[in-house]
Every structure is written in structure tokens, then in C-alpha cells.
Amino acid sequence: MKNKLLNIICGILITVSLVVIIKSLISMHKEHRKSTLQYEAANKPADPLTEVVFDDVLINVGTLSNDTTIYQSYTLRNSGTNPLFVYHVDPDCNCTNYELSKNIAMPNDSILIHLTVDTKNKHLGMFMLNTVVQINTEKKLYRLRLVGEVVKR
């Protein structure tokens, strides 16, 4: 009798525990989804979309010595009918700095992204640096690549 009662109590406790865990998981999922939607709404640009043409998205700088500074530019041409806005530029390496010629290009105008890369502390051998650009086009994100080889001086 005691075992049967103990089994019933254990079953009830396990069931209640499972219900609490499931409710917590559902609540966490709803909160995460809510915060994600709030983030997306807050960070969604309201600017009208346009079109862009890049002169190059992949540039090969060839072979460089390990004490070289690379200066390279990418051109974004606004081929659409609305202004082109550069929202964010994100190089993937702390050895890379960037500068924009301007943040906005009217139709038929262009923006230059100037990259400066210091190879002083780069590993010897082939490299590929990516820079992500966020702009107001349908695609939104573009990857600019810079490749080459660093050799010992």
C-alpha cells in the first residue's frame, strides 16, 4: 500500500515537474521570439530599396612581404532610382581598417570603400579577408574579398 501511494506521489511530482519545465521552455521561446522581432523591427531600415553594382567584389593583391600595408578600394555604384545608403561595414580582421568616401550615393553616383590592411602580424602564406557591407538593396549584405599571399621579407 505504501509503495503504491509512493508511486502515485512520485508520478504526480514528475508530471508537475514536466509541466513546469514545458511551460518554462514555451515562455522562454516566446520571450526570445518577442525580443528577436523587436530587434528586427528596431534595426530594419525604413529606407526605400535601390540597386547596386560593384566594380569588383574579389581583389587579388598578389604576393606581398610580411611588412606591407595594403591600400585597396571597392566601388559601389548606385544603379537604382533611390539613394544608396551604407548602413554598416564590418571587416573580419582587426588588421583591417576602412573608410567610406561618403555614406549616401544618389542614383548614378558611387561610394568608395577604402580598406587598409597591415600584414605585419599576418601569418605567412595565402590569406583571404572578408568585409561585409550592409546597404539598402534587396540582398542587404554583400561580401567583399581581398586575397593574396604574405611571404617573409
To 5 degrees, how large is the angle CA 102–CA 107–CA 109? Answer: 45
pLDDT in tens, 20-45: 677 766 766 566 555 555 545 455 55
pLDDT at 35: 52
**Same domain, residue pair 70 and 128:** yes
pLDDT in tens, 87-112: 999 998 888 899 999 999 999 999 99
Closest CA to 142 of 151, 134, 150: 134
Closest CA to 96 of 127, 65, 70, 68: 70
Rounded to two decimals, what is the model's pTM?
Answer: 0.68
Q: Mean pLDDT throughout 54-80?
A: 94
Domain at 113, CATH number: 2.60.40.10
Going by their DSSP bridges, the two strands 141-151 and 58-65 should be labelled as: parallel
**Same domain, residue pair 20 and 36:** yes
The answer to whether 120 and 66 have CB atoms below 8 angstroms apart is: yes
**Same domain, residue pair 23 and 68:** no
Mean pLDDT rounded to a whole number for the chain: 85
pLDDT in tens, 3-25: 777 778 777 878 777 676 777 66
**Same domain, residue pair 118 and 147:** yes
Name the residue type at position 8.
Answer: I
Number of domains within the chain: 2
**Same domain, residue pair 131 and 93:** yes
The residue range of the domain holding 90 is 52-151
